[in-house]
Amino acid sequence: MNVVDNQWQFSKIPNIEESNFNKILERFYSLGVAGLTRENIQNSLDGRLTESNQPVVVKIKLGKVNRQAIPGMNSIVQRIDSLEGRNGYTKETIAHMKASMIAEEVRYISFEDSNTRGLTGAKYGQSNSKEHTWGIYAYNKGVHFEEKDESFEASRGGSHGVGKIASNAASDLHMMFFANCDAEGEQHLGGTIQLIEHKLGDNYYRSTGYFAKLEDSKFMPFENQYDQIFEKTTRGLKIVIPFLRNSFYREDEIIRSVCDSFFVSIIEKKLVVHVNDLIIDADSIDSIVTDSQFYVQEIEAMKKVFTPLYVKTYKTKQPRLIEITHKNTVFKFNLYFNYDERIPKGRVGIIRTIGMKIEDFAVKNNATKPFNAVLIGGIVEDSYLKSLENESHTKISSDDIKDPELIKLAKKFISNLNKEILKVIDEEIRKHNPVDGKINTSDLLYTMELDFKENLSQSFGTVKIKNGKNIVTSGEGDNSETTPAKAKRQKRENGPTRKPKESGIRRKGKTRDKGENESAAEDQKDEYKINPYRVERLLLNDQEFIQVNLMDSPEVAKAKKCNLKFNIIDGMGKEYIGEFNMKENYSNVIDKNNSNSCVIESDAIKNVSIKNGLVNLQLALKPKYNRSLKFIYYIEV
């Protein structure tokens, strides 16, 4: 069988050894159109003109084109028809290719940049010269051109040399083209396609095909005289991806990807992006990130995408310097930090100096703290961050490093980065949650007293302090350390010892007489002080959840209703009775046992149900609520 044309070149091999598609295709496909957009804009920023102050401009177009306008389609159809799958995945992929290639009108996306250098040395083709970036980009896999200027090279986004295949992954046929116009105005068109090793006629061929001429066993590019979607008449590069996957044909997702990854470049006027008719620049980015068409606007709901927060943080906060010692170097980063109680997930946007975000960094054990931050280093810091990035430039880690010593250093750097940012988080939390003048919750004595009370609570449960009845409950399953304390207590008592009741409750004393100013209703209420280990609190943005476990106190647990009261306790363990006003701190209280609203009075929450020995409340906090307060809880039944 003869090849119908010679526009696509595949190198011959003696036999088929690899029957699978390039695994990197699947990795970049999983990143979707957001990953495709990020990779191509990063390449454009890497190709910026160093002598120019003009922003890099990238024009992204989505559209449809007639199949016959795509160069070399007849030979590609012939190649795909010859493919034979050896497993389920390759068979499925080949079947999809065959179904896609016969469409008369196909989707495409293009990325055209300007104020960039474009590729050099196209007229020399496959020259194997480091000076000719066309040959490196067009015909070499797994490498990228390195700048002579070390600082410029460090600032570039690319490093792994595999990002070029991201464009192939976006095509149903794994096909992409690149149109180039160099400094001399010479225009050329190249392209690649990723298939599998295959047999055509009597020959076997490699998986990668190149849109090129073959002259003296060397690939040479075609002069660009093709359809207008491939036209590139100004200096720079244009990527064209025909047979665009349907899931990638998403204008709104492309717009979000531009803002998510390059908001710093855009704000700093280093980058302008056109997505069809929409222009994203320093003047328009605010209106885009505050548009509900593209982003969730409620801060409390921003749990996965943080771009609106990043933009606000970067534009409104002054940077603070954080330093991280690394081997013989001190890395210096600018940290833009915003503390806001409404933020549900705390993230740090780590940014390269070209203005590209690497990742939404979660500080260890602080992922739910209410803050947002942007971290940017300099050239030295960029160079090191680059060594920690994964292939898609979306995460820093030690996972891709091979050298054991470098792995150790990388882990230490990331650990120190966590520690330095944590210092800022803790400082801001203290600043925004000041301790009341009467309260010192940071006092060491308070910690010691809490430890003492927790140990004591293992022996003594609920203490009834009203109406003259003191009840002590000893929980079942307490460790042996509490037993001697209980024995000593019994030994000191005068009179014959009494065997505790099976319920575990011991009564002492008599009911006191009613005071002059007490009503009959008050006389019927017994008040119980609740040990801290029986109370669980969860503070969210504007909500608090309280659960009180009364199951070990049958006399309390058997009640159907109760009132809940609590008093402030300071760092010395001193209780401030009546100084916490419920009405001033809570706007609403929901009884989670029955979904009813509870009555809020200044000194108590009333009509609270007890179900299966548990009290469950959801309390809506007012803005003045001090989240640093500590309480002692009481139940009235």
Query: Are 312 and 404 members of one domain?
Result: yes
For CA atoms 24, 29, 32, 37, the dihedral sign is positive
Asked if the structure places residue 261 within a domain, the reply is no
pLDDT at 342: 94
Query: Are 97 and 34 members of one domain?
Result: yes
CATH code for the domain in which residue 69 is found: 3.30.565
Q: Which residues of the chain have pLDDT under 70?
A: 1-5, 142-163, 435-524
Q: Residues 6 or more apart from 469 whose CB is under 8 A from it? A: 507, 508, 509, 511, 526
Q: Residues 6 or more apart from 290 whose CB is under 8 A from it? A: 297, 308
Give the burial class of 590: count Cβ atoms within 10 A of its Cβ; 0-12 exposed, 13-18 middle, 19 or more buried. Answer: middle
Tokens of 409: 């250093």
For CA atoms 567, 571, 574, 576, the dihedral sign is negative
Give the burial class of 99: count Cβ atoms within 10 A of its Cβ; 0-12 exposed, 13-18 middle, 19 or more buried. Answer: exposed
Query: Are 481 and 550 members of one domain?
Result: yes
Residue that has been written with the tokens 């002692």 in this structure: 632
Query: Are 424 and 356 members of one domain?
Result: yes
Asked if the structure places residue 580 within a domain, the reply is yes
CA distance 361 to 21: 33
Residue 120 to residues 9, 151, 160, 335, Cα–Cα distance (Å): 22, 21, 21, 38
Query: Are 47 and 161 members of one domain?
Result: yes
Asked if the structure places residue 274 within a domain, the reply is no
Query: Are 489 and 366 members of one domain?
Result: no
Domain boundary among 234, 249, 264: 249
The end-to-end CA distance of the chain, in Å, is: 94
Q: Residues 6 or more apart from 228 whose CB is under 8 A from it? A: none
Long-range contacts of 188-191 (CB under 8 A, 24+ apart): 188/122, 188/123, 188/134, 188/221, 188/222, 188/223, 188/224, 189/71, 189/221, 189/222, 189/223, 189/224, 189/226, 189/230, 190/122, 190/134, 190/138, 190/221, 190/222, 191/71
Tokens of 237: 């590069």
Query: Are 407 and 494 members of one domain?
Result: no
- Do 287 and 255 meet the contact criterion of CB atoms below 8 Å apart? no
Query: Are 630 and 553 members of one domain?
Result: yes
Residue that has been written with the tokens 């990043």 in this structure: 310
Q: Residues 6 or more apart from 387 whose CB is under 8 A from it? A: 159, 401, 406, 410
Alpha helices in 101-175 (DSSP H): 133-139, 150-155, 165-169
pLDDT at 451: 57
Domains: count for the chain: 3
Long-range contacts of 9-14 (CB under 8 A, 24+ apart): 9/209, 9/210, 9/211, 9/212, 9/213, 9/214, 9/219, 10/79, 10/205, 10/206, 10/208, 10/209, 10/210, 11/205, 11/206, 12/203, 12/204, 12/205, 12/206, 13/197, 13/204, 13/205, 13/206, 14/204
CA distance 472 to 507: 7
**Best CA proximity match to 534, nearest among 633, 636, 611, 637:** 633
CATH code for the domain in which residue 383 is found: 3.30.230
pTM above 0.85, yes or no: no
CA distance 314 to 503: 61
Asked if the structure places residue 277 within a domain, the reply is no
Query: Are 538 and 408 members of one domain?
Result: no
CA distance 309 to 372: 7
Residue 115 to residues 58, 103, 274, 370, Cα–Cα distance (Å): 9, 36, 14, 40
Asked if the structure places residue 61 within a domain, the reply is yes
pLDDT at 497: 46
Residue 435 to residues 196, 430, 431, 506, 569, Cα–Cα distance (Å): 67, 8, 9, 39, 12
The identity of residue 169, as a single letter, is A
Asked if the structure places residue 415 within a domain, the reply is yes
Query: Are 242 and 312 members of one domain?
Result: no
**Best CA proximity match to 141, nearest among 165, 125, 124:** 165
Domain boundary among 189, 224, 249: 249
Domain boundary among 408, 432, 456: 432
CA distance 266 to 258: 9
Asked if the structure places residue 594 within a domain, the reply is yes
pLDDT at 575: 85
Query: Are 304 and 223 members of one domain?
Result: no
Range of the domain at 555: 445-513+521-636
pLDDT at 133: 92
Query: Are 411 and 461 members of one domain?
Result: no
Asked if the structure places residue 281 within a domain, the reply is no
pLDDT at 529: 86
Beta strands in 430-518 (DSSP E): 463-464, 470-473, 505-508
Write the DSSP assignment of 374-388 as a string of letters: EEE--HHHHHHHHHH
Alpha carbon 69 to its chain centroid, in Å, reads: 41
